[in-house]
């Protein structure tokens, strides 16, 4: 019997309600995002030509997307010439199959992983487990969520939803250390556990931050050194990258090496920047014998084919739009139900993870514009969300169709009717003010009946002003 299809809308609503009812989650989200936002703001303010850098990054990414096929071909040519093997994965299942085959051929029984959201996207760990290979997350945050049996809740801070106490209890249970809230002790425990895994692993797995077409180089940014170990200690290194990671030239790199760490964590630069061009050469002491680069599409070409939504492929996964978003800051990453959360997740998930994406995702935004203001590559996220809302309402977005419910449809029709001429608008305003009058108490509307009660369930409205803006304006002009 096939499993019952998941109602993604209901799952999203339930997860959101649960998140809203969790004050500890709310506290952790607030603390972490405020801290990240403050660090980012201070770091960005120290760069005098920040806006020019953003513009430059936008242009580089835009041009790269326009010439993507040629850049990928050049990248493959150069990477191959330097000894790497390039594989193409049209879908998530292809990436898992290719990497499982490489793992089997290498004889590895365990693999150490650097943080890679794209490997979460394709559910690589589960596929490797089926192939008899144990995948070990080596990024501290990823390690925490892995041993907790959870998934990351933030692009750059996977364990953002966990408190120090949570981690202490987890490590006591899983690693057998005494309870402690000393961060150094907790980190040392994870490090000691992972060192043995690095030494034993036959396979190293990583994502890719940027891929340089002219040299066939993959570039990786990190702070913990675990990616450097994952990519150099095991005999075989597999790097999984989305097609959108390619940029034309090495000369473009400084722009992103400046923007990404400052925008992500507020650091002037990442602690470690690894630029890998092919595997270890004869005579070199470090590095893998084999470097495999798996180039993943998995819905990205469909996203690129949309002339508006394609801009989302410029994303460099800094996570700043999540921290800026009032919706993410209220419900956290898990409520979205997809690997990519926040404003960017709501745009790309329907393409990259259609089977997990609730049709409501593009609607999970106040459209306040904070995400666009912090985006280092100037992606017009509110514009894309509105665009996707249109697609969802028309049933043209991957996943379930958003059904305009009866009353919603009638309300939108009435709104459109009223907005068509000034006379109708004036009449509608007057009728609305009259209709709301019975609900006003002490200058506020605290409860509305029927479906409108959804609006007042979590907020109060000020009562409509005695005079409309137009009446006040006209009176002012006559004075
Ligand atoms: S959309 Fe922009 S702000 Fe959000 S993660 Fe991507 S690059 Fe960062």
42-58: pLDDT as tens digits: 999 999 999 999 999 99
Distance 325 CA to ligand 1 centre (A): 11
User: Strand (E) positions, 215-327?
Assistant: 217-222, 236-242, 246-247, 272-276, 290-296
CB atoms < 10 A from the CB of 13, how many? 14
pLDDT at position 398 over 90: no
Both 266 and 129 in one domain: the answer is: yes
Q: What angle do CA 299, 301, 303 make, to 5 degrees?
A: 70
Say yes or no: 136 and 237 in one domain.
Answer: yes
pLDDT band for position 4 (cuts 50, 70, 90): low
In a domain, 64, yes or no: yes
Who's near 62: CB < 8 A, 6+ residues apart? 311, 314
Please give the angle made by the CA atoms of 129, 133 and 136, to the nearest 5 degrees.
90
Atom of ligand 1 nearest to the CA of 371: 3
pLDDT bracket for residue 408 (50, 70, 90): confident
pLDDT tops 90 at residue 323: yes
Distance 344 CA to ligand 1 centre (A): 6
Q: What is the pLDDT of residues 131-159, one digit of tens each?
A: 999 999 999 999 999 999 999 999 999 99
Q: What is the pLDDT of residues 419-428, one digit of tens each?
A: 999 999 989 8
Ligand 1 centroid vs 139 CA: distance in angstroms? Answer: 21
For ligand 1, pick from 117, 372, 375, 380 the residue to mutate: most ligand atoms within 8 Å of CB: 375
Residues 6+ apart with CB under 8 A from 103: 111, 128, 131, 133, 202, 203, 236, 238
The confidence score (pLDDT) of residue 458 equals 73
User: Are 129 and 56 in a shared domain?
Assistant: yes
Give, for ligand 1, the residue of 318, 329, 371 to mutate: max count of ligand atoms closer than 8 Å to Cβ: 318
- Ligand 1 mean position to 365 CA, how many Å? 15
333 lies in the same domain as 363: yes
Q: Which of 283, 298, 313 is the last residue of a domain?
A: 298
Ligand 1 probe mutation, 156, 321, 328, most atoms within 8 A of CB:
321
What confidence category does residue 466 fall into, taking pLDDT thresholds of 50, 70 and 90?
A: confident
- Contact between residue 430 and residue 470 where contact means Cβ atoms under 8 Å apart: no
Query: Does residue 310 sit within a domain?
Result: no
Residues in a beta bridge with 89: 296
Selection from 67-81, 390-404, 433-447 with the highest mean pLDDT: 67-81
Euclidean distance between CA atoms 415 and 223, whole angstroms: 52
Q: Is the pLDDT of residue 399 over 60?
A: no
- Confidence bin at 5 (pLDDT 50/70/90): low
Mean of the pLDDT values across residues 175-191? 95
Give pTM, 2 decimals: 0.90
Residue nearest to atom 8 of ligand 1 (CA): 318
Does the residue 356 lie in any domain?
A: yes
**Residues β-bridged to residue 135:** 111
What percentage of the chain reaches a pLDDT higher than 90?
81
Nearest to 339 by CA among 101, 81, 158, 127: 158
pLDDT of 70: 98
Q: Measuring from atom 2 of ligand 1, which residue has the nearest CA? A: 375
CA–centroid distance, 373 to ligand 1, in Å, is 10
Whether 319 is covered by a domain: the verdict is: no
| Single residue among 298, 319, 347 that ends a domain in this structure | 298
Closest CA to 279 of 33, 468, 83, 62: 83
- Contacts of residue 269, defined as CB under 8 A and 6 or more positions apart, other chains included, come to 257, 258, 261
Residue 401's pLDDT is what? 57
User: Are 40 and 147 in the same domain?
Assistant: no
Whether 12 and 61 map to the same domain: the answer is no
pLDDT of residue 376: 98
Same domain flag for 233 and 87: yes
In what order do the strands lie in the sheet containing 217-222?
Answer: 246-247, 210-212, 217-222, 272-276
H/E element, 60: helix 50-66
List strands edge to edge, sheet with 444-445: 440-441, 444-445, 461-462
Asked if residue 304 is part of any domain, the answer here is no
188 CA distance to ligand 1 middle (Å)? 31
Residue 435, domain extent: 421-474
Task: Judge whether 33 lies within some domain.
Answer: yes
* Ligand 1 atom showing the smallest separation from residue 322 Cα: 4
CATH code (residue 85): 3.40.50.10420
β-strands 134-137, 110-113 pairing: parallel
Q: What is the mean pLDDT of residues 394-415?
A: 72
pLDDT of 256-313, one tens digit each? 999 999 999 999 999 999 999 999 999 999 999 999 999 999 999 999 999 999 999 9
Could you give the number of structural domains in the chain? 3
Check pLDDT > 80 for residue 400. no
Distance CA 350, CA 303 (A): 9
Say if residue 131 is in the same domain as residue 238.
yes
- 350 in any annotated domain: yes
| Lowest-confidence region among 224-233, 273-282, 392-401 | 392-401
Residues 12 and 90 in one domain: no
pLDDT of residue 413: 87
Round the average pLDDT of the chain to a whole number and report it.
94
pLDDT band at 160 (very low <50, low <70, confident <90, very high): very high
Q: Which of 318, 198, 334, 300 minimizes the C-alpha distance to 256? A: 318
Could you tell me the pLDDT band of residue 246, with boundaries at 50, 70 and 90? Answer: very high
Do 174 and 259 fall within a single domain?
A: yes
Ligand 1 centre from 315 Cα, in Å?
5
Q: Quick one: average pLDDT of 84-111?
A: 98
pLDDT of residue 341: 98
Cα 155 to Cα 139: distance, rounded to the nearest angstrom: 12
Alpha carbon distance 187, 193 (integer Å): 10
**Same-domain pairing of 279 and 168:** yes
2, pLDDT greater than 70: no
Q: Which atom of ligand 1 is nearest to the CA of 381?
A: 1
CA of 67 relative to ligand 1 center, distance in Å: 21
Pocket of ligand 1 (CB under 6 A): 315-321, 344, 374-377, 379
In the prediction, which pLDDT does 152 show?
96
Average pLDDT over residues 170-192: 96
**311 within some domain:** no
pLDDT confidence band for 475 (50 / 70 / 90): confident
The arithmetic mean of pLDDT across residues 215-226, rounded, is 97
The model's pLDDT over 110-122, given as tens digits with 9 standing for 90+, comes to 999 998 999 999 9
**Do 219 and 275 form a contact (C-beta atoms < 8 A)?**
yes
Please tell me whether residue 317 adopts helix, strand or coil conformation: coil
pLDDT mean over 26-46: 97
- Tell me the mean pLDDT in the region 182-210: 96
Q: Which of 260, 319, 372 to mutate to test the pocket of ligand 1 (most atoms within 8 A of CB)?
A: 319
Q: How far is the CA of 460 from the centre of ligand 1 (A)?
A: 33
Same domain, 60 and 161: yes
């Amino acid at each position: 019997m096939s499993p019952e299809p998941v109602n993604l809308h209901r799952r999203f609503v339930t997860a959101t309600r649960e998140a809203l009812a969790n004050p500890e989650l709310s506290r952790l989200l607030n603390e972490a995002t405020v801290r990240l936002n403050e660090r980012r703001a201070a770091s960005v303010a120290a760069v005098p030509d920040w806006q020019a850098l953003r513009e430059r990054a936008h242009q580089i990414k835009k041009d790269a997307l326009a010439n993507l096929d040629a850049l990928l071909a050049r990248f493959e040519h150069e990477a191959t010439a330097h000894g790497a093997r390039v594989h193409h994965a049209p879908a998530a299942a292809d990436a898992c199959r290719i990497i499982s085959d490489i793992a089997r051929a290498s004889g590895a029984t365990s693999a150490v992983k650097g943080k890679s959201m794209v490997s979460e996207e394709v559910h690589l760990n589960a596929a490797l487990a089926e192939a008899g290979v144990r995948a070990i997350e080596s990024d501290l945050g990823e390690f925490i969520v892995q041993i907790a049996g959870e998934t990351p809740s933030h692009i750059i801070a996977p364990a953002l939803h966990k408190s120090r106490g949570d981690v202490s209890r987890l490590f006591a249970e899983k690693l057998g250390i005494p309870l402690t809230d000393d961060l150094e002790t907790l980190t040392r425990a994870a490090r000691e556990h992972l060192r043995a895994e690095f030494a034993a692993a036959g396979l190293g797995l990583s994502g890719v931050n940027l891929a340089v077409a002219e040299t066939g180089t993959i570039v990786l940014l990190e702070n913990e050194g675990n990616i450097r170990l994952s990519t150099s200690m095991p005999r075989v290194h597999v790097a999984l990258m989305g097609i959108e990671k390619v940029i034309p030239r090495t000369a473009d790199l400084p722009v992103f090496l400046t923007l990404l760490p400052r925008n992500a964590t507020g650091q002037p630069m990442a602690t470690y920047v690894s630029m890998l061009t092919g595997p270890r050469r004869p005579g070199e002491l470090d590095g893998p014998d084999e470097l495999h680069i798996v180039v993943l599409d998995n819905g990205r070409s469909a996203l690129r084919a949309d002339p508006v939504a394609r801009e989302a492929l410029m994303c460099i996964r800094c996570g700043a739009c999540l921290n800026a978003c009032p919706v993410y800051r209220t419900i956290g990453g898990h409520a979205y139900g997809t690997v990519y959360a926040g404003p960017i997740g709501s745009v790309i998930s329907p393409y990259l993870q259609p089977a997990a994406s609730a049709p409501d995702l593009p609607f999970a935004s106040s459209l306040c514009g904070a995400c666009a203001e912090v985006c280092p590559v100037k992606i017009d996220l509110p514009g894309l969300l509105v665009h996707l809302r249109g697609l969802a309402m028309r049933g043209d977005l991957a996943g379930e169709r958003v059904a305009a419910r009866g009353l919603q449809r009638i309300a939108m029709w009435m709104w459109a009717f009223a907005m068509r001429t000034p006379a109708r608008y004036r009449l509608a305003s007057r009728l609305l003010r009259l209709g709301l009058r019975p609900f006003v108490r002490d200058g506020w509307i605290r409860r509305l009946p029927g479906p409108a009660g959804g609006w007042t369930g979590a907020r109060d409205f000020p009562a409509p002003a005695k005079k409309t803006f137009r009446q006040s304006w006209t009176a002012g002009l006559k004075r």
